[in-house]
Structures are given as structure tokens and as C-alpha cells.
Amino acid sequence: MVDLELKDVTKYFDESFTLKPTSFQVPSGKIGSLLGPSGSGKTTLLRIIAGLQKVDSGMIFFDNYDVTNLPPEKREIGLVSQDGGLFPHMSVSKNIGFGLETKKMARERKKTIVKEMIELVGLQGYENHLPREISGGQRQRVALARSLAPDPKLILLDEPLSSLDTMLKVTLREEILRIQKETGKTMIVVSHDKSTILSLTDYVGVLNNGEMLQFGAVEEVMMKPVSNLVTSFMERTNVVPSEIILEEERITLITVLGKISFTSFGAWKAITSIMQAKNKRMVQGEILLPPDALKQIKNEEMNEKALALVFEGKVNFTNFQGVTTLVNVTSQKLELAYLKVLDFKLNPKKQVSEERVKLEIKLEEIIPLNFEI
């Protein structure tokens, strides 16, 4: 694990692009992210952190140690590119073990590490497969395992989910979160997709035209954007007013869409711990429904014991996009926009504007925001 800090880092290319003085810090063991449109400077910053691009001014620190002028091989960084960057002629095992070739360790130890990495990313049985013989999601897991094998201080992920379909995105996002939790590695994720940032990372920096507009905890940037431009990037859609009622370790989350009762965990556990410390039984705030986390369900598919928020809404319009359908729904006078629903189906005998649908979002996909305690 490493605490990453950039201080007034700049990079001049030509008249078309300049990375303006940029400063931010990601604490050890956390996931930071860089969000912005193409050409905003996200990948440039990632390459600077990796040592693949020299800075013109400013400093980079790992745990207060100046690495600004260290070459890439001395920085102990793992890098996962958008397409995985696997060697097509090498098997899964050989791809994962590639970064260990220059390490001074016994061959048996290298084999053990490769085996551990394969188990970590859940690819047992695929050791001898070539990249073309496995799925896109599996290739990204191989790339992640390869980056972790040499035990780096920091993992950099450049658009790790962008080439995957919606279902694979959700699966791999959960895998990255699990692996980060198990390894405790500090990670930096680059993405132009807000839903990836909100559901995956602890800190976010919003970039535009080479300028860091705002950097902070995801909840802070979401709830308190410093400018209209940041607001437009964060797109405060699908934010639902909510309240939490706490009874011992059990939470009841109440929203206009419905309510769920559950034992606190994850981010909810952090909220309830503060509530208990301050002797508060009820707090108000908001929840965010990530656009790609909803599923259309039928009455017969409803499971009252499932930890999920289920609600009905009126369809305003749809836009078929292949595997997913972009849906705009109004429920309880609340408009939910840009919902990317898998296998979405409407009644062909009805007009879209007359259609009502049931949607479900699992509890683990719901993101708590701005609960004032």
C-alpha cells in the first residue's frame, strides 16, 4: 500500500494541450479516480504517475518519498490498460508470470505466485488458455492478476471496464472491489464513465482541458460541486431522498420508492457506527441508483426476502442499445433518467407512454450519499 500525492504537476506539449498545475492525494489502501472527457488529461496524468511521461514541473510522492525522477521500473507500479495488453502468444499463466521474470526469486516461488494470482482472480482451469480463447472480462482479470503478481505499491487502471458490455462491467467491477479489499492495494482508475467512478472509487478528480476542476471524496464532489462544469460532469441524476432508521445493528432504509431492512455492512456500517456514537436513531440523506444496476422484473419473479429495492414506474421513453435499453422512468413523481436496463421488454400492444414497469436494484448496488449525522 502507498499514499500517493501530486504537488503542482504540470506538462507542456504544444499549443493544443497543457496539463495545468495539478495537486491531489489518495490515501493508502483507497481507490482514487480521474473522470473527464477524451483529451482532458486523464491518461496523461496516469502516465506521469507511472513514470512513462516526465513532468515539466511539480513533484510526485509515494509515502512522502519523492519519485518524480524515478524511471518506471523503479516505481513498483502495476498498470492495467484498456485492452488488457496481454501477449497473444502466451498462455494465461505465462502472461501473469511475465512481470516476475526479472525478479530475483526461485522458480518454484514464481510458480506459487502465479497460482495464487490465478486463484485470486478466479481463473482456475484457464491456466493454459491463450487470450483469444477466453472472454473480454477474463482477459481483464488476467491483466489485473499480471499487474498484482510482482506485489506493486500502486495499481493504475486505464478505462478497465470500457470495452465490456453492461453485464460484464458489473461483474468485473465487483471483482476489482473484492481484490482491492483482499490485497489492500492503493488504486487509481481512469474513466469517462461516471457510473464506474461512483460505484468503484473512494476519491474522484474531475478533469477538463488539462485542468483539475475538483478533487475530493466521491460524496463531496457529488454533493458539493465547485462549478457548473463539475455539476454537468457528475450529472446528479437518479439521486433519491432517503432516511435511515437504526435499531441496534439493523437498518431500515426508507425512500419514496420503497424501503428495505437489513443488517448494516460496508458503507452503511460506517454510517451506523457514527449514528451509534452520536446516539442518533434517524438520519436523512440521499441514495444514488447507478444507471447500469437496475433490472426489469415480473410479479412472479419478486422475492420478498431479497435485499433489493423494487419499485414501479411509468415509462417516459426508451432507446434500444443492443444488450441494454436506455430507459427514462417516473416513479412517485421522481424522474429516473439514463437507466441502462438489461433485456428490457415492453408490451407491444401498448404505447410506450402508457407502459408501467417494475424495476429492481440490489442493495449492494445502492450508493449512500450525504447522510448528515
Q: Per-residue pLDDT tens for 175-208?
A: 788 888 888 889 999 988 777 777 788 899 999 9
- pLDDT at residue number 9: 95
d(CA 104, CA 268) in angstroms, rounded, equals 44
Whether residues 47 and 108 fall in one domain: yes
Domain range holding 75?
Answer: 4-234
**274 vs 225, which has greater pLDDT?**
274
Q: What is the spatial order of strands in the sheet that 367-369 belongs to?
A: 258-263, 250-255, 239-247, 282-288, 367-369
Confidence band for 254, pLDDT divided at 50, 70 and 90: very high
Query: What is the percentage of the chain residues whose pLDDT exceeds 90?
Result: 25
Neighbours of 324 (CB within 10 A): 19
Whether residues 128 and 203 fall in one domain: yes
Whether residues 99 and 135 fall in one domain: yes
Whether residues 216 and 296 fall in one domain: no
Question: What does the pLDDT average to over 102-113?
Answer: 83
Number of domains in the chain: 2
329 pairs with which residues across the strands?
315, 336
Whether residues 16 and 98 fall in one domain: yes
Indicate the residue among 203, 234, 265 that finishes a domain: 234
Most confident of 52-56, 135-139, 223-227: 52-56
The least confident of 145-149, 213-217, 229-233, 322-326 is 322-326
pLDDT of residue 229 exceeding 70, the answer is: yes
The least confident of 58-72, 127-141, 345-359 is 345-359
Whether residues 201 and 267 fall in one domain: no
The CATH number of the domain holding residue 218 is: 3.40.50.300
Q: Which residue reads 442518533 in cell numbers?
A: 280
**240 vs 169, which has greater pLDDT?**
240
- pLDDT at residue number 303: 63
Mean pLDDT score of the chain: 83
Question: What does the pLDDT average to over 358-368?
Answer: 86
pLDDT of residue 18 exceeding 80, the answer is: yes
Q: For residue 331, which of 310, 345, 346 has the smallest C-alpha distance?
A: 310
**Residues 6 or more apart whose Cβ sits within 8 Å of residue 109:** none
- pLDDT at residue number 373: 74
Indicate the residue among 200, 234, 268 that finishes a domain: 234
Confidence band for 27, pLDDT divided at 50, 70 and 90: very high
- pLDDT at residue number 49: 95
- pLDDT at residue number 294: 79
pLDDT of residue 107 exceeding 80, the answer is: yes
- pLDDT at residue number 208: 92
Whether residues 248 and 198 fall in one domain: no
Neighbours of 331 (CB within 10 A): 18
Whether residues 261 and 317 fall in one domain: yes
Q: Give the C-alpha distances (Å, rounded to integers) separating 142 from 5, 53, 117, 178.
A: 28, 25, 9, 15
Whether residues 339 and 209 fall in one domain: no
321-357 tens-digit pLDDT? 666 676 778 888 777 765 767 667 766 555 555 578 8
Question: What does the pLDDT average to over 127-152?
Answer: 86
Confidence band for 312, pLDDT divided at 50, 70 and 90: confident
The least confident of 3-17, 222-236, 354-368 is 222-236
* H or E element in which residue 46 lies: helix 42-50
The least confident of 102-116, 242-256, 267-281, 287-301 is 287-301
Whether residues 41 and 184 fall in one domain: yes
Whether residues 342 and 275 fall in one domain: yes
Indicate the residue among 193, 215, 234 that finishes a domain: 234
Whether residues 195 and 115 fall in one domain: yes
Question: What does the pLDDT average to over 224-248?
Answer: 80
- pLDDT at residue number 299: 67
